[in-house]
């Protein structure tokens, strides 16, 4: 029995030694686990900061590009409005000049002494225009009064009338008559 007691005592002491070793190993492992957990948490924090920094850099780059595009868009709008106003001014001036030239030609063609103001080439052009207007006026009056007689008249002049040409002639005469009426009102 003594032998059993001594064996039990030695087993108990061995068990205590193993328990102490296990406790020591456990505390060492717990310390290692705590250190690794801390490292993991630090790495997670670094990753979060890097992602945040990357997103912020991307957002800053996008903001920078947006600001550049906004500035470019603003410049393009300014340039468009400036070009549009220039175009409108040019069109207005062009319309005024066309109207003034038409009035001048009408006044010159109706004046008896326009020859001294107009160069020879221009005088010939105006004379031809007056003859054409007279001819067109005659044809329009003939067409309005008797379309069959108009066709005979055109056949006598060796020209074949078409709806398009007749319409053009009528519209030219109407335009000239309107221009003359505008001139008379002023």
Instruction: Compute φ and ψ for 151, nearest 5 degrees.
Output: -65, -40
Instruction: Tell me what pLDDT residue 169 has.
Output: 47
| Centroid of chain to Cα 169 | 41
Q: Which two tokens stand for residue 9?
A: 């005592």
Identify the CA nearest to 133 among candidates 185, 170, 102, 184.
Answer: 170
What is the reported pLDDT for 90? 87
Domain boundaries, the chain: 31-99, 111-186
Contacts (Cβ under 8 Å, ≥6 apart) of 176: 133
Per-residue confidence (pLDDT) for residue 39, from 0 to 100: 94
Q: Give residue-wise pLDDT tens across range 131-165.
A: 666 666 666 666 666 655 545 445 445 444 444 34
Looking at residue 178, its pLDDT comes to 57
**Residues in the chain where the model's pLDDT stays below 70:** 1-5, 108-186
CA atoms within 13 A on the CB side of 79: 6
Question: Which residue in the block uniquely carries the two structure tokens 């009528």?
Answer: 170
pTM recorded for the entire structure: 0.35
């Amino acid at each position: 029995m003594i032998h059993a007691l001594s064996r039990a005592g030695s087993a108990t002491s061995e068990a205590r030694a193993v328990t102490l070793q296990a406790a020591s190993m456990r505390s060492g492992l717990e310390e290692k686990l705590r250190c690794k957990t801390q490292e993991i948490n630090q790495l997670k924090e670094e990753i979060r900061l890097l992602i945040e920094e990357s997103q912020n850099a991307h957002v800053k780059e996008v903001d920078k590009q947006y600001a550049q595009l906004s500035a470019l868009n603003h410049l393009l709008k300014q340039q468009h409005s400036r070009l549009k106003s220039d175009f409108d001014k040019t069109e207005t001036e062009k319309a005024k000049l066309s109207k003034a030239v038409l009035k001048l030609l009408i006044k010159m063609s109706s004046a008896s002494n326009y020859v001294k103001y107009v160069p020879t080439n221009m005088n010939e052009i105006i004379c031809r225009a007056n003859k054409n207007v007279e001819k067109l006026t005659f044809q329009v009056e003939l067409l309005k009064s008797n379309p069959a007689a108009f066709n005979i008249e055109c056949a006598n002049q060796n020209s074949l009338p078409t709806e398009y040409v007749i319409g053009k002639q009528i519209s030219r005469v109407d335009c000239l008559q309107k221009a003359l009426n505008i001139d008379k009102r002023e």
